[in-house]
């Protein structure tokens, strides 16, 4: 989503935004999924597994420069329905809202982008009955755009990265609202060989990846070309300059027991979404005087029998996703 918003703000060519606003039954993607369709033919994001994109593109091209919107419903519930190629068989009905992106709408996206840059969530709202009624509500309660003044949405009790995207009646008006979260940040402490596939894979799924290490010969842009930042020096001092939030994830993988001992205790006092420590559970317990804290994931990653840096990276990223999506038991 951040890539979509940044693209819209940087490239003002005619474009349309498609959002899944309702799903009945099962589908490949859920409510709150965005896709950008530009006049040049570029598409960012996917609404389905590929079976609906061409049809959505056709609808989008009719909206460019019009300031209008449309709602399209796809019934994929019939197993023998060949309407979308060779039959999707998703057993669901997907409703997609598509709207032309004009300058006023870009203004609302700019506010959302500023919230994301500040590492703060915000609600996006769009009336399903009046295209001109849309806007956002920031985490400090400010309202932007044209939205009903009596709409009250909660920031207090939401779980970090909780998916909130649905339609609801406010008076006589049906409104779609979605909680937009900032890009997740992952801090990898230790830039060994095993950190490289982890940084690459986590970056591929949308994390802003930050590397911290004391060795410039291995912690550099050549080995971590997609990293959001690379910090070299005394790791303990580097950490003291970072203001961690409850949306941040950290993986400690220095392979240095004494350093892990000192850093691990410091990180334990930080309010993090995820703290994983590479190594056996026995080793990690030794870091904390024989007891594994509940907030520490060790051994890091899901237990899938992973072997080698690449597979271990897959298990770690799978656990990061599970925690972010609230799927960890």
Write down the pLDDT at residue 90: 61
Q: What is the CATH number of the domain that holds 288?
A: 3.40.50.720
- The domain tally of the chain equals 3
Of 126, 156, 180, which one is at a domain's C-terminal end?
180
Q: Is residue 329 one of the residues assigned to a domain?
A: no
Let me know whether 110 and 140 are in one domain. Answer: yes
Does the global pTM surpass 0.85?
yes
The answer to whether position 38 is within a domain reads: yes
In a domain, 244, yes or no: yes
239 and 269 housed in the same domain: yes
Residues contacting residue 142 through CB under 8 Å, at least 6 positions apart: none
Considering the domain boundaries, does residue 121 fall inside one? yes
Tokens standing for residue 234: 């005394």
Q: Residue 232 pLDDT > 50, yes or no?
A: yes
206: number of Cβ within 10 Å: 14
Paired strand residues for 95: 22, 73
State percent of the chain over pLDDT 70.
Answer: 95
Mean pLDDT of 105-133: 94
CA atoms of 100 and 70, how far apart (whole Å): 9
274 is a domain residue: yes
* Residue 100: predicted pLDDT: 96
Q: Which domain holds residue 294?
A: 185-324
Residues 26 and 140 in one domain: no
Tell me what pLDDT residue 46 has. 92
pLDDT at residue 156 in the model: 86
Q: Which range, of 149-153, 193-197, 293-297, 319-323, averages the lowest pLDDT? A: 149-153
How many Cβ atoms are within 10 Å of 324's Cβ, its own excluded? 22
Does residue 229 lie in a domain region?
yes
Between CA 209 and CA 212, with CA 210 as vertex, the angle to 5 degrees is 145
């Amino acid at each position: 989503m951040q890539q979509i918003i940044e693209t819209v703000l940087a490239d003002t060519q005619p474009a349309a935004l498609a959002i899944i606003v309702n799903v009945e039954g099962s589908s490949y993607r859920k409510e709150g999924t965005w896709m950008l369709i530009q006049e040049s033919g570029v598409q960012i994001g996917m609404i389905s597994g590929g079976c609906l994109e061409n049809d959505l593109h056709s609808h989008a091209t009719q909206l460019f420069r019009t300031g209008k919107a449309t709602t399209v419903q796809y019934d994929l519930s019939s197993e023998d329905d060949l309407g979308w190629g060779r039959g999707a068989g998703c057993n669901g009905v997907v409703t997609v809202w598509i709207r032309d992106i004009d300058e006023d709408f870009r203004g609302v996206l700019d506010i959302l982008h500023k919230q994301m840059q500040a590492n703060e969530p915000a609600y996006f709202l769009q009336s399903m009955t009046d295209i001109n009624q849309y806007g956002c509500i920031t985490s400090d309660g400010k309202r932007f755009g044209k939205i009903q003044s009596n709409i009250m949405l909660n920031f207090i009790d939401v779980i970090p990265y909780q998916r909130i995207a649905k339609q609801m009646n406010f008076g006589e008006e049906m409104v779609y609202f979605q909680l937009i979260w900032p890009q997740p940040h992952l801090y990898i402490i230790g830039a060994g060989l095993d950190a490289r596939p982890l940084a690459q894979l986590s970056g591929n799924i949308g994390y802003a990846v930050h590397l911290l290490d004391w060795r410039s010969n291995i912690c550099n842009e050549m080995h971590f070309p997609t990293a959001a930042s690379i910090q070299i020096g005394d790791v303990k001092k580097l950490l003291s300059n970072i203001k961690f939030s409850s949306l941040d994830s950290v993986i400690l993988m220095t392979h240095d027991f004494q350093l892990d001992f000192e850093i691990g205790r410091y990180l334990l006092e930080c309010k993090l979404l995820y703290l994983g420590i590479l190594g056996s559970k026995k080793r990690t317990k030794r870091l904390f005087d024989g007891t594994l804290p509940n907030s520490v994931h060790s051994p890091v990653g899901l237990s899938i029998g992973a072997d080698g840096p690449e597979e271990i990276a897959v298990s770690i990223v799978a656990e990061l996703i599970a925690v972010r999506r609230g799927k960890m038991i």
